[in-house]
Amino acid sequence: MEYEVVHTDDVPMTDLSESDEVPPDLRIRALDEVLGADDVHLKLWYFDPGEEIRYHAHAEQEELYYVLEGEFSLKLGRSGEEEYVEAGPGTFWIAKPEIGHGHRNVGDEEGVVLAIGAPAVEDPGLDPHGLDAEDG
């Protein structure tokens, strides 16, 4: 099909705590899988208070994030140059390849973040402290 339309409530929720291969133990809705996206990863991530995606980087993938609900503390930048930024609903941020990024729900309510990553390749998180600043 050349197009697909789906409501968020119709996308199955996946509990990542049931998988040893995928940290962290969050819940996601894999929108890309339901929509049949080939060139982009598209996920809704659900964070209870205190839950986080730890500071990491990707070799190839550029990631764009958008806060739909909740209050987050972002850790962004190259190793040794990290900055912390507060982000609430309506906030976008981007992490280019090999640039460290992570975020924690610092609010008292559930937080929801839309994550868009391209290209849609297997690109597991790397330790930003192990990347040479000259490589990026």
User: Quick one: pLDDT at residue 124?
Assistant: 72
Neighbours of 116 (CB within 10 A): 18
User: Quick one: pLDDT at residue 136?
Assistant: 44
Percentage of the chain lying above the pLDDT 70 cut:
90
Mean pLDDT of the residues in the chain: 89
User: Quick one: pLDDT at residue 132?
Assistant: 63
User: Quick one: pLDDT at residue 129?
Assistant: 78
- Range in 18-27, 62-71, 81-90 the model is least confident about: 18-27
pLDDT tens track for 70-123: 999 999 999 899 999 999 999 999 999 999 999 999 999 999 999 999 998 887
DSSP 64-87: EEEEEES-EEEEESSTT--EEEEE
Q: Give the pLDDT mean for 26-49.
A: 95
Neighbours of 39 (CB within 10 A): 9
Taking the C-alpha atoms of residue 28 and residue 15, their distance in angstroms, rounded to an integer, is 7
User: Quick one: pLDDT at residue 127?
Assistant: 73
Residue 22 pLDDT greater than 60, yes or no? no
